[in-house]
Amino acid sequence: MDDPIFHLSGIVRTKGEMEDFVGPLSLILQLLSKNKIEIRDISISLILEQYLAYLDNLAAMDLEIASEFVAMASYLMLIKTKMLLSTGEDVSELDQLISSLEELKRRDSYAKIKTVIITLRDMAEKAGVTYTKPPESIPPDNTYRYTHKITDLLRAYRRIAQAEESPPPAGRPFTYPKPIVYSVKDKAREILHTLSLEGSARMSILVKEAGSRTEVVAIFVAILELCRVGEIEFIESQDDVTIYRAAAPLDLPVPPDTPEEATGGDVPNGNE
């Protein structure tokens, strides 16, 4: 703000119009607000000159205005001095001035807004009530709309060919998870082992403990096989089947290795 022009007309008025000023501070605030100046930029001499020139033009010199001006000028001096000398802490005067300035502007804005409210209300009334409609649902069409060079396709093809030729990264051999296979024989052994420990086994529990479908199948087949060779019996209850060790082994050929291994080995006190 090199050369601010302070438009004093409309701010400084004749005595009869002075109602909107309360004291020198208000006058300063008006000056500041109307000219949008920063407090720091206040050029007192400039204000003074312009003010005097304005007063010169006034036909009747109003003493009250003159005294108010003196008060204002000294006020400005005070503020400016304080600002120049202050260490940055003692700025309460400035704070006060700025907050007053804001308050003034706030009130001014609000007053202006209020003047158009009635017009706005009329406009809304005149525009009436209109309704809009919900959007139509439009089935999406995903047809591809971009264009490419045909050579892009060849390049893409070459890329695959190259990837194929390049050897697999060295140093990190691939490891595949070992498929878990359940043999019927192992399952039969397991079941006999359980029976020898607990006397009986519930089918539902055996199945529930199975980790996979193949294991369930293995369990079923093992039970069927053990039944066939007469190693086990079962009693069917309402919703379960309880398996027991057969009371007396029937005189049937025993599948190789099943009973011997199941009862021997890790079961110290077998049924033998």
Partner 1 sequence: MEMNDIECVLEGILFASGEPVPADRIALTLGVPKTDVYQAAHALAHRLEMEKRGIRLVVLGDTLQLCSAPEYADYIRQALEVRKQPQLSQQALEVLAIVAYHQPVTKLVVDQIRGVDSSYTVGLLQDRGLIEACGRLNVPGRPLLYRTTPTFLRAFGIASLEEMPPLPESENGEGDSPEDWVQVKMETPL
Residues engaged in binding partner 1 (CB under 8 A):
7, 10-11, 33-36, 38, 91, 94-95, 98, 102, 105-106, 108-110, 112-117, 119-121, 123-124, 126-136, 138, 140-154, 156-161, 163-164
Which is closer to partner 1, CB of 150 or CB of 181?
A: 150
3-state secondary structure the chain: CCCCCCCCECCECCHHHHHHCCCHHHHHHHHHHHHCCCHHHCCHHHHHHHHHHHHHHCCCCCHHHHHHHHHHHHHHHHHHHHHHHCCCCCCHHHHHHHHHHHHHHHHHHHHHHHHHHHHHHHHHHHHCCCCCCCCCCCCCCCCCCCCCCHHHHHHHHHHHHHHHHCCCCCCCCCCCCCCCCCCHHHHHHHHHHHHHHHCEEEHHHHHHHCCCHHHHHHHHHHHHHHHHCCCEEEEECCCCEEEEECCCCCCCCCCCCHHHHHHCCCCCCCCC
What's the min distance (Å) between Cβ of 38 and partner 1? 8
Short-list 68, 59, 74, CA closest to 12? 68
**CB proximity list for 23: less than 8 A, separation 6 or greater:** 68, 71
Cα 125 from chain centre = 41
Which is closer to partner 1, CB of 52 or CB of 154?
A: 154
Which is closer to partner 1, CB of 57 or CB of 143?
A: 143
Which is closer to partner 1, CB of 161 or CB of 180?
A: 161
Which is closer to partner 1, CB of 96 or CB of 204?
A: 96
Which is closer to partner 1, CB of 106 or CB of 228?
A: 106
Which is closer to partner 1, CB of 150 or CB of 180?
A: 150
What's the min distance (Å) between Cβ of 1 and partner 1? 12
What's the min distance (Å) between Cβ of 15 and partner 1? 18
User: CA 193 to CA 244: how far, in whole Å?
Assistant: 12
